[in-house]
């Protein structure tokens, strides 16, 4: 879109100086408004990316915390699994012991039943009758002691039977309670683990969404920067064209001349009269104004050197070119390629050393060129 606007702006002939100037001024103001809007959007997008970055960091920190919680819950489940296995072994032993008790109780039960039957028979006969049927006192005493012994054994048998039943009951209740407690604890840990995993999935989904939004914003920033660059270039060219309509002289375009190429400016070592412009090998060096080539050859300390006479005593100087595209006497127009960037005669690698001179005296190029970010030389 910007290329189309540029072609229309520079190729369509203006009906008259006044009308063309007004149209260009109008176009410049419109593009400056567009540039302001783009800069505003760019600032907003940068702020949005910064917010998304902090939100992403907050979510990442939360995910790290959740992962630590999940790890703890997994360890708790592992410990509970070990406890459950130990409990299962205890249960197995308890069940064996209960089975043994049940066997003993069954035997005691049978013995107790036989003793009950015996006591029932004795009751029918009568203990006194058994004692008084003795042949003598010694026999009666033996029978009495035997009777006491039988009764004592029966009491012990009854007590043992009752104790065994109580012990079996207690053990079974203990096992049931312990199983229930561990099962409950395991359920709680499993529930907490599920909750942590759900929260982790939720945070991960949110993080992915934030990262996607940040990537989209960064893409938008890159596109806005391209638009900003194109608008600045277009405004610069329109401004130069508008100035050219007003006056065709070199002096009249002070501060509005197009730079010989795009790149960062710097102060070359040991040279105070001009500026250096960083550029890759082979980049095109363009004429900053109409003129005629006055010098095009090797010059000691400057490598391939090109000097253009712009009239009214003004000359532009381009040094260290890898190749000169024009020869002495050639007429050149503003924006026309005249040489290629190189490093001939340079100790600082590929670059352009550029000067503007008035009647042989160097003037500051920064005050003449319409640089995108005009300021002090680095």
Q: Where in the chain is the domain with CATH 1.10.287?
A: 1-246
Q: What is the mean pLDDT of residues 85-99?
A: 74
Q: What is the mean pLDDT of residues 333-359?
A: 93
286 close to 273: Cβ distance less than 8 angstroms: no
Q: What is the mean pLDDT of residues 14-38?
A: 70
Residues in the chain: 378
- pLDDT at position 141: 63
Tokens representing 4 are: 């189309």
Tokens representing 344 are: 């001939």
- Mean pLDDT, the chain, rounded, equals 77
Query: Residue 191: CA atoms inside 13 Å, Cβ hemisphere, count?
Result: 6
Tokens 């909750």, residue located: 195
Q: Which of 52-66, 133-147, 254-268, 351-365 has the lowest mean pLDDT?
A: 133-147
Instruction: Give the integer Cα–Cα distance in Å for 335 and 28.
Output: 19
Residue 10: pLDDT band with limits 50, 70, 90: very low
DSSP state of 259: P
Of the two residues 323 and 40, the one the predictor is more confident about is: 323
- pLDDT at position 217: 77
DSSP state of 257: B
Of the two residues 257 and 105, the one the predictor is more confident about is: 257
Who's near 218: CB < 8 A, 6+ residues apart? 49
The highest-confidence range among 32-36, 220-224, 228-232, 333-337, by mean pLDDT, is 333-337
Determine the 3-state secondary structure of 128 from DSSP.
helix
Residue 298: pLDDT band with limits 50, 70, 90: very high
Tokens representing 373 are: 């970010």
3-state DSSP of 60-76: HHHHHHHHHHHHHHHHH
Q: What is the mean pLDDT of residues 65-71?
A: 76
Tokens 């066997």, residue located: 103
Q: Is pLDDT of 183 > 60?
A: yes
Cα 14 to the chain's mean position, in Å? Answer: 54
Q: Which of 155-164, 192-201, 305-314, 332-341 has the lowest mean pLDDT?
A: 155-164
Instruction: Give the integer Cα–Cα distance in Å for 238 and 257.
Output: 11
112 close to 175: Cβ distance less than 8 angstroms: no
Phi, psi of 327 (to 5 degrees): -120, 165
CA angle, 17 then 18 then 20, to 5°: 65
Among 50, 41, 1, residue whose Cα is nearest residue 225: 41
Rounded to 10°, the helix 137-246/2-11 angle is: 0
Who's near 181: CB < 8 A, 6+ residues apart? none
**CATH code matching the domain that covers 249-378, chosen among 3.40.50.300, 3.40.220.10, 2.70.70.10, 2.40.280.10:** 2.70.70.10
Residue 312: pLDDT band with limits 50, 70, 90: confident
Q: What is the mean pLDDT of residues 306-319?
A: 94
Determine the 3-state secondary structure of 258 from DSSP.
coil
332 close to 308: Cβ distance less than 8 angstroms: yes
Q: Where in the chain is the domain with CATH 2.70.70.10?
A: 249-378
Q: Which of 131-140, 245-254, 299-308 has the lowest mean pLDDT?
A: 131-140
Residue 195: pLDDT band with limits 50, 70, 90: confident
Give CATH for domain 1-246: 1.10.287
Q: Is pLDDT of 273 > 90?
A: no
3-state DSSP of 281-317: CCCEEECCCCEEEEEEEEECCCEEEEEEEEECCEEEE
Tokens representing 311 are: 């009239």
Cα distance between the two ends of the chain: 34
């Amino acid at each position: 879109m910007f290329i189309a606007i540029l072609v229309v702006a520079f190729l369509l002939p203006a009906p008259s100086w006044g009308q063309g100037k007004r149209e260009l001024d109008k176009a410049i103001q419109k593009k400056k408004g567009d540039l302001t809007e783009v800069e505003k959007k760019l600032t907003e997008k940068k702020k949005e990316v910064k917010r998304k970055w902090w939100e992403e960091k907050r979510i990442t920190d939360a995910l790290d915390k959740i992962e630590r919680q999940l790890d703890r819950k997994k360890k708790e489940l592992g410990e509970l699994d070990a406890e459950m296995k130990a409990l299962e072994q205890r249960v197995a032993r308890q069940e064996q012991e209960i089975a043994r008790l049940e066997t003993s109780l069954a035997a005691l039960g049978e013995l107790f039943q036989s003793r009950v039957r015996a006591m029932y028979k004795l009751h029918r006969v009568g203990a006194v009758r058994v004692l008084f049927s003795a042949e003598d006192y010694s026999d009666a005493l033996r029978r009495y002691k035997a009777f006491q012994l039988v009764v004592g054994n029966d009491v012990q048998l009854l007590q043992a039977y009752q104790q065994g039943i109580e012990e079996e009951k207690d053990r079974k209740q203990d096992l049931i309670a312990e199983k229930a407690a561990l099962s409950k604890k395991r359920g709680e840990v499993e529930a907490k683990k599920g909750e942590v995993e759900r929260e982790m999935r939720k945070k991960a989904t949110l993080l992915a969404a934030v990262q996607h939004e940040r990537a989209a914003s960064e893409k938008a920033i890159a596109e806005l920067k391209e638009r900003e660059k194109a608008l600045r270039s277009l405004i610069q060219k329109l401004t130069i064209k508008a100035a050219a309509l007003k006056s065709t002289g070199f002096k009249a375009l002070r501060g509005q001349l197009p730079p010989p190429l795009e790149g960062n400016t710097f102060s070359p070592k040991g040279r105070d009269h001009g500026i250096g412009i960083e550029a890759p090998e082979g980049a095109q060096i363009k004429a900053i104004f109409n003129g005629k080539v006055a010098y095009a050859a090797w010059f000691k300390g400057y490598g391939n050197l090109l000097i253009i006479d712009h009239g009214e005593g003004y000359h532009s100087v381009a040094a260290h070119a890898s190749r000169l595209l024009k020869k002495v006497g050639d007429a050149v127009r503003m924006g026309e390629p005249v040489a290629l960037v190189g490093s001939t005669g340079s100790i600082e690698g590929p670059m352009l050393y550029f000067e503007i001179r008035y009647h042989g005296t160097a003037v500051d190029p920064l005050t003449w060129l319409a640089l995108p970010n005009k300021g002090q030389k680095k």
